[in-house]
Amino acid sequence: MNPGRIPVKLSHLRRLFVSHVEILGFLQFPVLKEIGIDVGQDENVLALLGPLLTRSSCSLSTLCLHGCSPAHATVQILQRFSIRELAIVVDTAEDGGRLTRLMASLTVSETEEPKAVAPQLRRLSLGCGDEGYIDHGAFLKMVMSRWRAGQCALESAALLVNAGEAPTRSDFTVLCEEGFDLVLAQGLDAANAMDCLLMYPGWN
């Protein structure tokens, strides 16, 4: 943000979807709770989110990403702020690879003293479009590790696959039997769910 420019303060805005992230450097949202960001080709998009949240002093609870930033950038945001719900929709193979690396970072280690990344996360929703992909095995490992780790708050997750092979509920039988809240969707149901995650066209 230009040091000489006073940010525009939007005092009552609670939900926002941003397709041009440059605008984040000129705004302030004291009561913002949910934000959706179109990552696009900008790997540094989350670098603008941190200063925005600090400047706004808001208690952001939900972060939705259309596309996937590098794992380390997403982890930094999750560690610094009290985000409880994370949703990511990927549309490219490159973003699918980044998402796999992020899931590895969010998987709780099986060592004697595991330390979870962003233990406050309560809900994780991951979706992929026609050209994207989600590693089902990595998803299952991540979710199971966080569900069983006493330090983690995770209580529900969603896996949404618009095209291609989708996991079956039998793959997640143990989790479901343990009472975990899991949503699996494919095709049109998945596409509709992803639109809801990104709040198309409901963002205001």
Whole-number Å distance between alpha carbons of 61 and 163: 29
Does residue 197 register a pLDDT over 90?
A: no
Whole-number Å distance between alpha carbons of 54 and 96: 29
H-only helix segments in the chain: 45-56, 71-80, 93-106, 136-148, 173-177, 187-197
Whole-number Å distance between alpha carbons of 43 and 53: 18
Q: Where are the domains of the chain?
A: 8-108+116-197
pLDDT average, residue stretch 108-113: 75
Q: Which residues, at least 6 apart from 200, have a Cβ–Cβ distance to it below 8 Å?
A: none
Note the pLDDT of residue 130: 74
Per-residue pLDDT band at 122 (split at 50, 70, 90) = very high
pTM for the model? 0.88
HSE, CB side, 13 Å, CA atoms: give it for residue 83. Answer: 24
Q: Which residues of 7-41 are buried (b: 16+ CB within 10 A; e: fewer)?
A: beeeeebebbbbeebeebeebbbeebebbbbbbee
Per-residue pLDDT band at 41 (split at 50, 70, 90) = low
Does residue 106 register a pLDDT over 90?
A: yes
- Give tens-digit pLDDT for 44-86: 778 888 888 888 888 899 999 999 999 999 999 999 888 999 9
| Cβ burial, residue 139 (10 Å; 0-12/13-18/19+) | buried
Secondary-structure class of domain 8-108+116-197 per CATH: alpha beta
Neighbours of 137 (CB within 10 A): 12
Does residue 194 register a pLDDT over 90?
A: no
Does residue 202 register a pLDDT over 60?
A: no
Q: Let me know: does 99 contact 69? Beta carbons within 8 Å.
A: no
pLDDT average, residue stretch 194-204: 66
- Give tens-digit pLDDT for 136-184: 999 999 999 999 998 899 999 999 988 767 677 777 888 888 889 999 8
- Please state the φ and ψ torsions of residue 85, each to the nearest 5 degrees: -130, 125
Q: Which residues, at least 6 apart from 187, have a Cβ–Cβ distance to it below 8 Å?
A: 162, 163
